[in-house]
């Protein structure tokens, strides 16, 4: 039987063997922890603690800054050292709460206490997810309670757990499939209970047969939840791609998954939902893969959020050689970083270190058409790059450049090593920023007229 998938995409050597065998180890951080306020999409969180205050595991450090936002919680017990600016992955500075670890690991009362979630209403479950500060842990960081707040009139018939983990090297979700499959199924039972006519589908790429087996066994007895093996292909884990693979429906940038009857939640996030709703645990920890050819002992760690990357690298045996490149996330969509004091966030699935940074010298396009065949959004990457380079943004939009999901498949496949996705993503960001500025100016002008 052929495995479900989407049209387009690339087959990448995945490098997962380096760490897929490594069982999850609990990591206890040493020094201070750094909790950034912008770990999610939307308004930054607002600190609610002050320097000098003692905090416990599970205690709120920051309130959500709006509806599309998420609270931040302490992952260790200790003393707040400062509320100050700290560098984040993209080089910007964001507000952060810094906590000195006291090594006691004291929790707030009821942290981890079992709850009768089946007697909770849908609104109470959504409130529990919101109160736990849960956001998409696959990298996007979109607040989960917002995803679950579906517009009136929309009918959800699929809750999809995204267990594709298609980015090379990353194995945190794979290890969770093997080590906590029941928690994932519990999370899916909770999520499908919010949409009574829905089925739960856990999509897992076929390169994790043991993961498929473990999660399928945990699904036994729950008729509305099943595992769907997916073809191993990048970017199978893209939200639009997994919806296409599971339901044959397609969405675009103007639609939400709910418009196609779907809710899509990442595998780690589904487990965070189970921990929050059934055990009263806010999102304080996550599993992080530390890997790459520059890492001595590629590993998977259960990490208190806020732990510095340098500590995890040391816990993985340190570097075999000075790495030329370190990435937060996977090689296709992650962020290259130079500062190893950066903390693990809710979205940090992987810290990847390469001995060598590959330098590509782009040459002229040879018109092979490969970039067109792999684009999962069915765009024309070479034409989009040309319009982006010429700053012809009207043409860029006409060619549907805003539909680019930044997957990097076009750059990966290009034999001329042209930096296609980099130019297209930069142009898309520019166009979206200009639109935002124009909308703000129009609103202000409108307010002025009314005044």
> What is the spatial distance between Cα 261 and Cα 47, in angstroms, rounded to a whole number?
36
Binding ligand SF4 by CB under 6 A: which of 367, 394, 447, 449?
Answer: 367
Under rule CB under 6 A, residue 424 binds ligand SF4: yes
| Neighbouring C-alpha atoms within 13 Å toward the C-beta of 123 | 0
Under rule CB under 6 A, residue 361 binds ligand SF4: no
Closest to ligand SF4 by CB, 21 vs 378, is: 378
Under rule CB under 6 A, residue 421 binds ligand SF4: yes
Q: Judge if the upstream peptide bond of residue 235 is cis by omega within 30 degrees of 0.
A: yes
Which listed range, 146-154, 188-196, 324-332, 368-376, lies at the site for ligand SF4 (CB under 6 A)? 368-376
* Minimum distance, C-beta of residue 84 to ligand SF4, in the bound complex (Å): 36
Closest to ligand SF4 by CB, 65 vs 406, is: 406
Closest to ligand SF4 by CB, 9 vs 29, is: 9
Closest to ligand SF4 by CB, 42 vs 237, is: 237
Closest to ligand SF4 by CB, 107 vs 386, is: 386
Closest to ligand SF4 by CB, 35 vs 412, is: 412
Under rule CB under 6 A, residue 432 binds ligand SF4: no
> What is the spatial distance between Cα 262 and Cα 353, in angstroms, rounded to a whole number?
35
Q: Is the dihedral of CA 94, 97, 103, 105 positive or negative?
A: negative
* Minimum distance, C-beta of residue 235 to ligand SF4, in the bound complex (Å): 7
Which listed range, 26-34, 169-177, 243-251, 403-411, lies at the site for ligand SF4 (CB under 6 A)? 403-411
* Minimum distance, C-beta of residue 365 to ligand SF4, in the bound complex (Å): 3
Packing angle, helices 172-179 and 267-279, rounded to 10: 50
Under rule CB under 6 A, residue 236 binds ligand SF4: no
CA angle in degrees (0–180, nearest 5) for 247-251-256: 105
Closest to ligand SF4 by CB, 177 vs 382, is: 382
Under rule CB under 6 A, residue 418 binds ligand SF4: yes
Under rule CB under 6 A, residue 70 binds ligand SF4: no
Under rule CB under 6 A, residue 379 binds ligand SF4: yes
Which listed range, 148-156, 332-340, 344-352, 407-415, lies at the site for ligand SF4 (CB under 6 A)? 407-415
Under rule CB under 6 A, residue 404 binds ligand SF4: yes
Write out the residues near ligand SF4 by the rule CB under 6 A: 365-371, 374-377, 379, 381-382, 404-410, 413-416, 418, 420-421, 424
């Amino acid at each position: 039987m052929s495995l479900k998938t989407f049209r387009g995409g690339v087959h990448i050597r995945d490098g997962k063997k380096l760490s897929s065998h490594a069982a999850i180890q609990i990591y206890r951080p040493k020094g201070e922890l750094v909790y950034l306020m912008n770990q999610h999409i939307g308004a930054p969180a607002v600190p609610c603690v002050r320097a000098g205050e003692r905090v416990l595991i599970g205690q709120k450090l920051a309130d959500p800054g709006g509806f599309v936002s998420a609270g931040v919680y302490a992952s260790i017990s200790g003393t707040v050292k400062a509320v100050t600016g700290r560098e984040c992955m993209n080089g910007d500075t964001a507000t952060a709460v810094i906590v000195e670890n006291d090594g006691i690991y004291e929790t707030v009362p009821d942290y981890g206490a079992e709850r009768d979630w089946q007697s909770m209403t849908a609104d109470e479950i959504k409130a529990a997810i919101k109160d736990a500060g849960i956001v998409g842990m696959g990298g996007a960081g979109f607040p989960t309670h917002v995803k679950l707040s579906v517009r009136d009139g929309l009918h959800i018939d699929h809750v999809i757990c995204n267990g594709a983990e298609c980015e090379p090297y990353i194995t945190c979700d794979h290890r969770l499939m093997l080590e906590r499959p029941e928690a994932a199924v519990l999370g899916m039972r909770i999520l499908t209970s919010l949409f009574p006519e829905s089925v739960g589908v856990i999509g897992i790429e076929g390169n994790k047969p043991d993961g498929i087996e473990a999660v399928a066994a945990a699904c036994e007895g729950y008729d509305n939840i099943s595992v769907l093996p997916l073809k191993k292909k990048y970017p199978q884990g893209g939200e639009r791609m997994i919806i296409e693979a599971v339901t044959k429906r397609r969405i675009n940038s103007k639609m939400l998954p709910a418009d196609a009857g779907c809710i899509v939640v990442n595998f780690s996030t589904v487990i965070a939902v189970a921990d929050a709703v059934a055990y009263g645990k806010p999102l304080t920890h996550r599993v992080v893969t530390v890997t790459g050819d520059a890492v001595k002992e590629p590993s998977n760690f259960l990490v208190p959020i806020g732990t510095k990357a340098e500590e995890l690298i040391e816990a993985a045996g340190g570097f075999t050689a000075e790495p030329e490149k370190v990435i937060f996330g996977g090689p296709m969509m992650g962020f290259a970083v130079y500062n190893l004091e950066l903390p693990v966030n809710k979205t940090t699935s992987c810290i990847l270190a390469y001995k060598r940074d590959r330098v590509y010298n782009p040459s002229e396009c040879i018109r092979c058409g490969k970039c067109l065949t792999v684009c999962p959004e069915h765009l024309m990457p070479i034409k989009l790059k040309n319009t982006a380079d010429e700053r012809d943004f009207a043409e860029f939009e006409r060619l549907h450049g805003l539909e680019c999901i930044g997957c990097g498949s076009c750059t990966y496949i290009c034999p001329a090593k042209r930096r296609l996705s980099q130019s297209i993503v930069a142009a898309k960001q520019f166009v979206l920023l200009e639109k935002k500025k124009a909308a703000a100016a129009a609103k202000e002008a409108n307010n002025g007229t009314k005044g």
